[in-house]
Amino acid sequence: MAHPPPQKPATGRRTAELTESAPAAILGQTKREPASPSRSIVLITAQIGKTMTTISPAPFETAPGTTLFRTRGLTKVYDMGAVQVHALRGVDLELFAGELVVLLGPSGSGKSTLLNILGGLDTATDGAVTYRDQDLTRANDEALTEYRRFHVGFVFQFYNLIPSLTARENVAVVTEIAEKPMTPEAALALVDLSDRLDHFPAQLSGGQQQRVAIARAIAKNPAVLLCDEPTGALDSETGIVVLEALERVNREIGTTTVVITHNADIAGMADRVIRLSNGLIANVQRNEHKKAPQELHW
Amino acid sequence: MRGQALAIAGVIAGGVATFVMSLSTLDSLRLTQATYYQDYRFAQVFASLKRAPLSLASRIEEIPGVDRVETRVLAPVTVEIEGFADPVTGLLISVPDVGEPLLNRLFLRAGRFVHPNREDEVVISDAFAAAHGFTPGTKLHVTINGKRKHLTVVGVALSPEYIYEIRPGAIFPDYARYGIFWMARTPLSTAYDMEGAFNDVALTQASGTVLQDVIDRLDALLERYGGRGAYGREDQVSHKYLSQEIKALETFAIVLPAIFLAVAAFLLNVVISRLISTQREQIAALKAFGYRNMEIGIHYMKLVLMILAAGLAGGIGGGVWLGRSMSNLYQEFFRFPFLEYQLEPYVITTTCLVGLAAALLGTLHGVRRAAVLPPAEAMRPEPPVAYRETLIERAGLKRFFSQPTRMIARNIERKPLKSLLSIIGIAFACAIMMLGSFQEDAIDYMVNVQFGLSQREDLTVSFVEPAAPRALYELESFEGIEYGEPFRAVPARLRFEHRSYRTAIQGLEPRGRLKRLLNRKLETITLPENGLMLTDYLGGILGVRPGDTLRVEVLEGSRPVREVPVAALVSEYIGVSAYMHRETLNRLMREGNVLSGAYLAADLLKENEIFSKLREVPRIAGTVAREDAIRSFYETMAESILIFTFFIVLLAGTIAFGVVYNSARIALSERGRELASLRVLGFTRGEISYILLGELGVLTLAAIPIGFLIGRGLCAYLIVAVQSELYRIPLILEQSTYAFAATVVILSACISGLIVRRKLDHLDLVAVLKTKE
């Protein structure tokens, strides 16, 4: 597995939050500094089980290999009137910093539900999900919004770009509200779109649009990049270009990346492959020999 | 869809309601007027004269075309009312000693008619009775022809001749200070020295005869007897006011519904177009199954017709209710004895047809586009929307805009026509508001100009007969009277080419301090020694300009006929008059230095003493105190203005709400996906609300100045549509009117914004990620 770039010095405030909230074992390599009292209170409150009103506001650098997400007995039941659909039936899972994970499963296996809960778009019916030991299941809407704003990058099957904004502006829309973002230009350079900065989505191909979406997702320096069928709407050739972009981001910046797909061929590029079936984890497989995206085909 | 359909139905209902209300009120007023006129035999020709023997009546009857003739004695009267110090005047009209009048019959609201040969009985007008709480049995102390008399009220009545009961020359009715009284012929003739004579005649025409012929012959006949010129209903004051009111209502009946239905058509267009673009694929599927274009068109038309039906049902129901209330208000205002509320079938059919036309106009284009789309094309999503940088961004202002602000600007510019129509829709709401409240400003202004600049006297006293200047000196000697200014008033017909107008020439002091003539800039104009000055509106009626020469036919005294040049036009909002140097008028009349009355400046603290002193002067026909007239006017107007304003606010609010709410809902449906995407990316609810509602905010704010312009235009149109000899409303719009209109529009926009904001809070973030654009 590729190593992340040298760790940037973390700010005192962020480290302090960790000190209060995370077990020392997980924080192994993080610098320790004195705690900020107000922040501690918020986080302690969160831990004793009330509705969490905030999540530490910015991504922190987490040493590769430490646990970023942990789910225990994660259950999601959709109430569809007469019937109840069990999307997740008690998922226990850990995701580690810096890894590239592919969540594989047929449609209806619960992979999107899992991703949505990890991304703070949905809440679990039962069980717990922690992000750096902060309990996402107890977070309210404001806290989840803040969590998405500062910690999570999303890439969707249908790109979800803003049609009225150019590529650069689509990235800027996120960097404007982020805390320590890259420049939109730098983010777009990472996905090889430096020559398309001022194109509107309607002027870009599907693959280019998806790469803009990736640039938008990584520009905020998120702790995790969640990709829901990122190549689902693309042909294989274009899909591979998009996967290359994801792989490069993961390799160069060290962003933890979760890709969900029903395309088993993509699994080859992952550090770990987690197979879901019928709302449960069927198996977890570690790829000893990761394939480069160029080696994939479907 | 439900909210949007309701909002559109609301706007349609607003238009339909105003349409039904105006038309049904109009019909009701017309029918009531016609029925009242017919049942109570309202005369068609009126003439007053100095004095003619009763035997002349039979000669009048012989005039070809004359049907029925009623001769009468009319006498000015002053009334003393205990506990009411203000001068009260009125008009005494004779009724036959036995039986009812042949023409201008009375509707008895209470009590009875006068008994033959009882000299002290009087029937009083309903409005006057109501103003003072008089009922049959009340005693009145009156002065007729300088003689005091005690009268007993035996009845309270209404007359088709005094539907609008207003003192001659006054602007507004003042029921407490002016009344109509009916007395038996014999005692009135005795009191007024008119035994065996009459000084007023009313008649009806036989059908198929020419009014002007009757008038001309009557004038010829009455000339010897001091006839002051006969006139038809068109010039009868009460009829004129009533017609004026009906005319104003006609204008409203067209303008307001037209605005509403245009806005409704626009909204339907927007909503249906949007609906069709979201249902493109279903349409394609249906067509692929073999549905015909017509069937698909009909499917959407059904939806439109349902919205229309809801709007029509609500609007017709509301319109009938409003029409009834409005008609009742009119009944009260005009004191009709009855009101025939009339809802003609044509009103309903016209309303439905107009509504249908508006709905079809609004939707046909969208429906047609959906129907003619080839299925294969329709199956594909609509081509992506092409955006580009907006003008202001290209002008170099881009760096000041955040990305959300750019989104707002580009969305507005992407659909310039739709944005423009939304702006115009909201602007009309603003304009309607102005239409509602500007009348108040204009009336204030008219009163200020009339009473603050032009008619500055505290009291006006008129004499029974022209009097010598010493009558004025006598008045000036009363304690409390500070200054007096004489005037001479002479009825005359002014002719220019084929046009003529009957009015009074007022002879004034050239440099009067109380009665002053104003030019367009409201500066005082000095009366020239020679020539006439005409109200500008009268100049328009006669088609004369300063320098032209008018033929003046005096209708009093020796009835001289003279050619008089027009010296200038004066700016006046109320009534039409001709003015002259008093001495010149005296010369024209070949009379000495005489006056008809005087304007007085008085110490109003002593008004009670002054009034009681004036009552003792036998030659005084009437006294008018200005302040009381203004005050009572405002009291009567305040309530009806309040009702009207409330109604207009409701209508304007409906439009503003309808447009903003629909724009917001459409924007939400078009952009829900990108807003949800932004929420996923970590935008807060407030931040995405800014993007959606910011656009509406920009449209609303842009609409307000345009609304001000349209509002001004509408007011100007209304003014021209309702201007008449009675009054011309000036185009005066106070800042408060603009502010109020803007406030109502902004509030309506905010309310609809808040409703949409609630929807934004419940965006389904997950669903949006799983769907294509």
Q: What is the pLDDT of residue A165?
A: 92
| Residue contact A160–B673, C-beta within 8 A | yes
| Residue contact B387–A163, C-beta within 8 A | yes
Q: Can you tell me the mean pLDDT for B692-713?
A: 92
Say if residue A56's pLDDT is above 70.
Answer: no
Say if residue B611's pLDDT is above 90.
Answer: no
Confidence of residue B711 (pLDDT cuts 50, 70, 90): very high
Residue of B nearest to A160 (CA): B677
- H or E stretch covering B387: none
SS3 per-residue string spanning B22-53 = HHHHHHHHHHHHHHHHHHCCCCCEEEEEEEEE
Q: Give the distance from residue A289's alpha carbon to the nearest chain B alpha carbon, in angstroms.
A: 32
Say if residue B370's pLDDT is above 50.
Answer: yes
Say if residue A6's pLDDT is above 90.
Answer: no
Say if residue A57's pLDDT is above 80.
Answer: no
- The ranges assigned to domains in chain A are 64-295
Say if residue B741's pLDDT is above 50.
Answer: yes
Q: Give the distance from residue A7's alpha carbon to the nearest chain B alpha carbon, in angstroms.
A: 25
| Residue contact A145–B411, C-beta within 8 A | no
- Residue whose tokens read 């029509």: B312
| A216 reaches B (C-beta below 8 A) | yes
Indicate the residue of A147, A165, A216 with minimum beta-carbon distance to B407: A165
More confident residue, B655 or A197: A197
| B762 reaches A (C-beta below 8 A) | no
Highest mean pLDDT among B36-45, B392-401, B759-768: B36-45
Q: Can you tell me the mean pLDDT for A152-166?
A: 90
Give the type of residue at B404. P
Q: Give the distance from residue A188's alpha carbon to the nearest chain B alpha carbon, in angstroms.
A: 17
Measured distance CA(B359)–CA(B8) in Å, rounded: 10
Say if residue B615's pLDDT is above 50.
Answer: yes
| A122 reaches B (C-beta below 8 A) | yes
Confidence of residue B204 (pLDDT cuts 50, 70, 90): very high
| Residue contact B406–A164, C-beta within 8 A | yes
Residues of A in contact with B771 (CB under 8 A): 158
Report how far apart, in Å, the C-alpha atoms of A74 and of each of A140, B141, B352 are: 18, 98, 60
| Residue contact B402–A200, C-beta within 8 A | no
CA-wise closest residue to B412 among B717, B12, B698: B698
Measured distance CA(B382)–CA(B3) in Å, rounded: 25
| A156 reaches B (C-beta below 8 A) | yes
Q: Can you tell me the mean pLDDT for B219-227?
A: 89
Say if residue A60's pLDDT is above 60.
Answer: no
Q: End-to-end distance of chain B based on CA atoms, in angstroms?
A: 20
Q: Can you tell me the mean pLDDT for B18-38?
A: 89
| A158 reaches B (C-beta below 8 A) | yes
Q: Can you tell me the mean pLDDT for B437-466?
A: 84
More confident residue, A265 or B763: A265
| Residue contact A162–B407, C-beta within 8 A | yes
| A160 reaches B (C-beta below 8 A) | yes
Render pLDDT for B41-91 as a digit per residue (tens, 0 to 9).
999 999 999 899 999 999 999 999 999 999 999 998 889 888 887 788 899
Three-state SS at A157:
coil
Q: In this prediction, what percent of chain A has a pLDDT beyond 70? A: 79
Mean pLDDT of chain A: 80
Residue of B nearest to A173 (CA): B403
Say if residue A37's pLDDT is above 90.
Answer: no
Measured distance CA(B31)–CA(B336) in Å, rounded: 12
More confident residue, B229 or A7: B229
Note every long-range contact of B380-388, with CB atoms under 8 Å and residues 24 or more positions apart, other chains counting: B381/B280, B381/B281, B381/B772, B381/B773, B382/B277, B382/B280, B384/A163, B384/A201, B384/A202, B384/B773, B385/A163, B385/A164, B385/A202, B385/B414, B386/A200, B386/A202, B387/A163, B387/A164, B387/A165, B387/A200, B387/A202, B387/B414, B388/A200
Residue of B nearest to A216 (CA): B681
| B736 reaches A (C-beta below 8 A) | no
Say if residue A1's pLDDT is above 80.
Answer: no
How many Cα neighbours within 13 Å face the side chain of A233? 21
Confidence of residue A193 (pLDDT cuts 50, 70, 90): very high
Mean pLDDT of chain B: 86
Residue of B nearest to A123 (CA): B766
Span of A76-85, A121-130, B154-163 with lowest mean pLDDT: A76-85
Say if residue B637's pLDDT is above 80.
Answer: no
Span of A211-225, A226-240, B7-21 with lowest mean pLDDT: B7-21
| β-bridge mates for residue B157, sequence order | B108, B125
| B417 reaches A (C-beta below 8 A) | no
Residues of B in contact with A233 (CB under 8 A): 772
- The ranges assigned to domains in chain B are 74-193, 456-631
Residue of B nearest to A57 (CA): B682
Residues of B in contact with A154 (CB under 8 A): 680-681, 769
Say if residue A10's pLDDT is above 50.
Answer: no
Say if residue A53's pLDDT is above 70.
Answer: no
Q: Can you tell me the mean pLDDT for B106-134?
A: 91
| Residue contact B680–A165, C-beta within 8 A | no
ipTM of the complex: 0.77
Q: Can you tell me the mean pLDDT for B465-479?
A: 90
CATH number of A64-295: 3.40.50.300
Measured distance CA(B315)–CA(B310) in Å, rounded: 8
Render pLDDT for A89-147 as a digit per residue (tens, 0 to 9).
999 999 999 999 999 999 889 998 999 999 998 889 999 999 998 899 888 888 999 99
Indicate the residue of A121, A150, A202 with minimum beta-carbon distance to B386: A202
| A116 reaches B (C-beta below 8 A) | yes
Render pLDDT for B502-524 as a digit per residue (tens, 0 to 9).
888 999 998 888 999 999 888 99
- List, as ranges, residues 392-411 from B with C-beta within 8 Å of A: 402-404, 406-407, 410-411
Q: Give the distance from residue A171's alpha carbon to the nearest chain B alpha carbon, in angstroms.
A: 10
Confidence of residue A65 (pLDDT cuts 50, 70, 90): confident
More confident residue, B425 or B626: B425
- Helical residues (DSSP H) of A12-165, grouped into ranges: 12-21, 37-47, 111-118, 141-151
CA-wise closest residue to A204 among B378, A214, B409, B401: A214
| Residue contact B682–A148, C-beta within 8 A | yes
Q: What is the pLDDT of residue B665?
A: 83
Residues listed for chain B: 773
Highest mean pLDDT among B132-136, B232-236, B340-344: B132-136
Strand pairing report for B620-625 and B197-205: unpaired
| B498 reaches A (C-beta below 8 A) | no
Measured distance CA(B65)–CA(B210) in Å, rounded: 8
Confidence of residue A182 (pLDDT cuts 50, 70, 90): very high
Q: Give the distance from residue A298's alpha carbon to the nearest chain B alpha carbon, in angstroms.
A: 22
